[in-house]
Amino acid sequence: MKRLDWNGLDEAARREALARPAQSRADELRRGVERIVAVVRERGDAALRELSAKYDHCALEAIAVDEAEFAAAEASLDPALKAAIREAAARIEAFHRAAALQPVAVDTAPGVRVERMLRPIGRVGLYVPAGSAPLPSTALMLGVPAHIAGCREVVLCSPARADGRCDEAVLYAARLTGVHRVFKLGGAQAIAAMAYGTASVPKCDKLFGPGNAWVTEAKLQVSSDPDGAAIDMPAGPSEVLVIADAGANPVFVAADLLSQAEHGPDSQVILLSPSADLLDQAAAEVERQCAELPRGAIAGRALAQSRLIAVDSLAQAVEVSNRYAPEHLILQVAAPRALLDGVESAGSVFLGQWAPESVGDYCSGSNHVLPTYGYARSYSGVSVASYQKQISVQEVSADGLRHIGPCTATLAAAEQLEAHRRAVTLRLEALA
């Protein structure tokens, strides 16, 4: 990991220090995704089978997972794993129900009631990656809030293995959370299928979930097409920023950095500390622990583009963190809540030495589908609200129009919208 002193850097060097790994949206990738989307739109299921053979190395007979496959998946899983999935789902549901938006009704003037009502998005598509490792936790993070929101139809795509089957734990989690249909599809072709529909896969109104560069590019492309589908958020590679003080445990700090670095070679991890000793110890621990990891080679490639940054104070560390806007922010300091009020941009925050980012990935109850690549400045993680539409309602009585009609007419006249003004004044004349 590259070591830097924040206060010894000029502005250009500071920008470079916080630069993400180059996100792959090269012309070749963009054109490749365009070709996949086009062929799926044109040839539907036949294209999906061909692309699955090409990219996932499997021959799909049926694209949809059938009941026998769901039953076989559940029967094959270790009871301890099934219990852990159920336990995690219960905590995710408890938090998401408590955090869900509520209907609102306010009398803004006598005789004027304004309301907000909530309606679920009709059909949503969930994407669960299974490239270097299947992610049943993502099925929970996407399926639970969709169920709470009450979406009429929830479909899920996840890549099949060479044997033509989806990961058993992903299928179990999908069924547990109430997903209605699962399709054995991955990559850009899965996104295209859910965005535009095929004979087997229904067209969805909004798409959710993380993925590789091809999936991310496909989501961006279909979301910019009026005939496509909305998406949860723009996203990039996984990332974590750790703020640690002199008393932080370097073993824990290193473990947290590596827990994100092992996601992929384009992941990024950053450690900020005012303590030179802590930075030294954490660097040594990262090297030692990385050598012990099964995915150590992947983590090592991510570490090559990661940073150890010395700052003057914890307050300055928070300022740097806000500038970076990390997906995950870990405050390994003696009094983490003292820093929390200063945090302005982060996908999810973890307080203290006993809150590893891993618990948020799996079972603390919060959602792990979060904005990355700096999008935490303007986006939030997936929640029940992500699956809902907020519709405003106005109810105005005759007395209510007498109260607010003149204000409306004055503003309409100022904007030179005479029909707007007359829609009010004609009614006020009728009430005179």
Radius of gyration over every alpha carbon of the chain, rounded to an integer in angstroms? 25
State how far Cα 345 lies from the chain centre. Answer: 15
Q: Which helix (H) or strand (E) holds 369?
A: none
Taking the chain, what is the end-to-end CA distance rounded to the nearest angstrom?
77
Q: Is 96 annotated as a binding residue?
A: no
| Cross-strand pairs, 309 | 4, 272
> In angstroms, rounded to a whole number, what is the distance separating the alpha carbons of residues 264 and 21?
12
Residue 415 annotated as binding site: yes
> What torsion, rounded to 10 degrees, do the Cα atoms 173, 175, 176, 180 define?
120
Cα 253 to chain centroid distance, Å, stands at 24
238 labeled binding residue: yes
Annotation says 368 is catalytic: no
CA proximity to 154, closest of 98, 212, 208, 89: 208
Element (H, E) at 325: none
**Which helix (H) or strand (E) covers residue 257, if one does?**
helix 250-261
Spot the catalytic one: 147, 327, 357, 368.
327
Q: Is 420 annotated as a binding residue?
A: yes
Could you tell me which of 378, 342, 372 has the C-alpha nearest to residue 240?
372
- Strand order from edge to edge, sheet including 268-273: 2-5, 307-310, 268-273, 239-244, 328-332, 348-351
Marked catalytic residue, from 96, 217, 285, 328: 328
Residue 74 is labelled as binding a ligand: no
Between CA 254 and CA 264, with CA 260 as vertex, the angle to 5 degrees is: 130
Binding residues: 127, 189, 212, 238, 260, 263, 328, 361, 415, 420
Active site residues: 327-328
Annotated binding site for NAD(+): 127, 189, 212
- Residues at the annotated binding site for Zn(2+)? 260, 263, 361, 420
List, as residue ranges, the binding site for substrate. 238, 260, 263, 328, 361, 415, 420
